[in-house]
């Protein structure tokens, strides 16, 4: 990955979906050049986080009992990884997971005991050869120990400590350039040592920074995907079953990303940060936002039975909306003409960009209140009140979801999702007007029609 810490990563944690399914891929889909030949179709056609644990307070005031509420079943957490285990390994992992499900958290000490159980679960998974999101650069070096001398291995351990210390410091002077920034300096050192030892340093750094594990990385060209040279493992290590699943995911994506936008995607990543976290995200691959990467979390996208999860289609629609509204053609670039246009982390939008028009129509009147809620949320100490959610509740009839109230960029992405997936609204609320805003653009209406036809939603 070419862009890191200070560049925005746009992500969504799943929403509801109206259908799911999984197409098949023939064995001939793999050719000698590591291409997925069947995908030569038109595009128009913390610590480790693996388990989702929700801790709920007991309603009785004289008790402080909590229970570990694991929302996923054991089979859902392992997903297709369960096929790689024998019966004894499955039984051993299942026993630990059952302990986690039944565990009662009553105080800080018992909470620590619970997390010792989760660590035990992770360690067993790794012992059995399953991939778990990396939590340190040393863990990466452990997995690829033969790539490093003892001296290089110790150097990675030292860099790990430096990275941890710098990551927990304040960012400092916002005007500091990359050459002076301690974070960028340590990043360059880490990337270099992995590059020099046969592993893609940028990809390794990305995995640690985002707390995920990468299963496969593909280069995208003309709607086709090819196994990238920037992978940590050779293509030959992928099983035919894995290639089939990755191909199925991509074939579904090309139904959603319009052909005229496919040239913006240059990387397609399959990874996981565990279940029920970030299902997908997009991130720019270069400084001018003309090239993008789409990453899909395998554990969230594919259910144990091999079908797509209920949230998958909606999430991809949402993520494409970020690319559509924040790519180079929607930005003013370095030669800023209109400073009154809405500005994002990516830069000033053009006056006629989708997001600027959207912002001027629906956010100007609530912008100051939104900024005040943001500032309050950033500065507040321990409190039951969530200023941002209070902002959403006050203007609930203006948003298609609570996530849409995160910021204008998420709002337009969520609105686009509803525009594509749901029927045309007939009401007169601001929420409805936002969706109807999309219908004012003939090109978006055509894209909607094409996507719905490809997905069988018509």
Tell me the mean pLDDT in the region 229-240.
Answer: 93
* pLDDT at res. 256: 97
Residue 311, pLDDT above cutoff 60: yes
Within a domain: 393: yes
Within a domain: 324: no
Closest CA to 406 of 417, 395, 419: 395
Both 163 and 96 in one domain: the answer is no
Both 218 and 285 in one domain: the answer is yes
Both 406 and 349 in one domain: the answer is yes
pLDDT > 90 in the chain, percent: 62
Within a domain: 96: yes
Element (H, E) at 55: strand 53-57
* pLDDT at res. 4: 28
Both 97 and 179 in one domain: the answer is no
Within a domain: 114: yes
Residue 154, pLDDT above cutoff 80: yes
Q: Is the dihedral of CA 445, 450, 452, 458 positive or negative?
A: positive
Lowest mean pLDDT among 65-79, 82-96, 385-399: 65-79
Residue 19, pLDDT above cutoff 70: no
* pLDDT at res. 210: 85
Within a domain: 26: yes
The pTM of this model reads 0.79
* 257 vs 179: CA distance, rounded Å: 37
If one counts every other C-beta atom within 10 angstroms of the C-beta of residue 131, the result is 17
Split into its structural domains, the chain has a count of 4
The residues that bridge with 53 in the sheet, in sequence order, are 70
Phi, psi dihedral angles at 12 (to 5 degrees): -135, 140
Beta-carbon-side half-sphere exposure of residue 35 (alpha carbons within 13 Å) = 13
Question: How would DSSP label each residue in 340-362?
Answer: TS-EETTEEBPTTSHHHHHHHHH
Both 120 and 152 in one domain: the answer is no
Residue 304, pLDDT above cutoff 80: no
CB 287 within 8 A of CB 305: no
* pLDDT at res. 106: 87
Both 206 and 226 in one domain: the answer is no
Within a domain: 310: no
Both 432 and 340 in one domain: the answer is yes
Question: Among residues 100, 127, 154, which one ends one of the domains?
Answer: 127
> What Å distances lie between residue 349 and 424, 438, 443, CA to CA?
27, 18, 19
Q: Could you list the residue range(s) of the whole structural domain that residue 196 is in?
A: 134-210
Residue 410, pLDDT above cutoff 60: yes
Tell me the mean pLDDT in the region 278-282.
Answer: 92
Question: Among residues 170, 193, 210, which one ends one of the domains?
Answer: 210
Within a domain: 305: no
Lowest mean pLDDT among 305-319, 370-384, 388-402: 370-384
Both 31 and 63 in one domain: the answer is no
* 265 vs 257: CA distance, rounded Å: 9
Residue pointed to by tokens 């992992």: 93
* 188 vs 57: CA distance, rounded Å: 44
* 64 vs 334: CA distance, rounded Å: 56
Tell me the mean pLDDT in the region 421-428.
Answer: 96
pLDDT band with cut points at 50, 70 and 90 for residue 118 = confident
Both 435 and 350 in one domain: the answer is yes
**Terminal-residue alpha carbon distance, the chain:** 37
Both 63 and 116 in one domain: the answer is yes
Both 226 and 261 in one domain: the answer is yes
Residue 62, pLDDT above cutoff 80: no
Within a domain: 319: no
Note the pLDDT tens digit of each residue in 356-376: 999 999 999 999 999 999 999
Residue 286, pLDDT above cutoff 70: yes
How high is the mean pLDDT of the chain? 83
pLDDT band with cut points at 50, 70 and 90 for residue 100 = very high
Question: Environment class of residue 150 by beta-carbon count within 10 Å: exposed (0-12), middle (13-18) or buried (19+)?
Answer: exposed
Both 13 and 25 in one domain: the answer is yes
Lowest mean pLDDT among 46-60, 374-388, 408-422: 46-60
Helices (H) and strands (E) in the chain, counts: 16, 11
* pLDDT at res. 58: 33
Question: Among residues 210, 238, 261, which one ends one of the domains?
Answer: 210
* pLDDT at res. 77: 84
DSSP E strand stretches across 106-259:
213-221, 224-227
- The angle that helices 354-362 and 408-421 make with each other, rounded to 10 degrees, is 100
């Amino acid at each position: 990955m070419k862009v890191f810490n200070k560049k925005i990563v746009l992500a969504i944690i799943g929403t509801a979906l109206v259908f799911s399914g999984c197409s098949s891929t023939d064995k001939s889909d793999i050719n000698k050049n590591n291409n997925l030949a069947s995908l030569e179709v038109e595009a128009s056609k913390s610590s480790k986080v693996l388990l989702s644990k929700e801790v709920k307070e007991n309603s009785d005031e004289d008790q402080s009992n909590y229970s570990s509420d694991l929302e996923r079943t054991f089979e859902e957490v392992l997903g297709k990884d369960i096929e790689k285990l024998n019966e004894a390994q499955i039984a051993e992992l299942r026993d630990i997971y059952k302990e986690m499900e039944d565990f009662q958290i009553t105080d800080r000490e018992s909470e620590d005991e619970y997390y010792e159980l989760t660590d035990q679960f992770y360690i067993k998974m790794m012992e059995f050869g399953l991939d778990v999101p990396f939590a340190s650069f040393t863990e990466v070096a452990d997995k690829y120990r033969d790539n490093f001398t003892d001296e290089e291995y110790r150097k990675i351990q030292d860099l790990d400590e430096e990275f941890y210390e710098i990551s927990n410091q304040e960012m400092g002077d916002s005007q500091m350039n990359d050459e002076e920034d301690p974070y960028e300096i340590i990043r360059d050192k880490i990337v270099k040592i992995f590059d020099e030892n046969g592993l893609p340093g940028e990809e390794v750094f990305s995995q640690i920074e985002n707390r995920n594990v990468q299963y496969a990385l593909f280069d995208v060209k003309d709607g086709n995907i090819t196994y990238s040279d920037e992978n940590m493992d050779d293509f030959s290590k992928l099983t035919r079953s894995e290639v089939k699943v990755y191909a199925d995911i991509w074939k579904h994506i090309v139904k959603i990303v319009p052909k005229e936008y496919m040239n913006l995607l240059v990387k397609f990543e399959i990874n996981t940060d565990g279940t029920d976290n970030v299902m997908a995200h997009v991130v720019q691959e270069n400084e001018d936002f003309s090239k993008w990467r789409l990453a899909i979390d395998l554990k969230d996208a594919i259910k144990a039975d091999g079908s797509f999860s209920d949230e998958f289609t909606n999430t991809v629609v949402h993520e494409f909306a970020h690319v559509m509204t924040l790519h180079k053609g929607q930005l003013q670039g370095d030669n800023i003409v209109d400073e009154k246009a809405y500005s994002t982390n990516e830069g000033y939008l053009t006056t006629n960009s989708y997001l600027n028009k959207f912002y001027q129509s629906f956010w100007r009147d609530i912008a100051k209140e939104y900024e005040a809620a943001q500032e309050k949320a950033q500065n507040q100490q321990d409190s039951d009140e969530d200023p941002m959610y209070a902002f959403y509740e006050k203007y609930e009839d203006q948003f298609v979801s609570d996530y849409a109230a995160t910021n204008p960029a998420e709002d337009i992405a969520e609105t686009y999702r509803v525009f594509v997936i749901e029927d045309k609204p007939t009401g007169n609320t601001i929420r409805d007007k936002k969706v109807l805003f999309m219908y004012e653009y003939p090109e978006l209406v055509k894209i909607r029609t094409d996507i719905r036809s490809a997905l069988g939603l018509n």
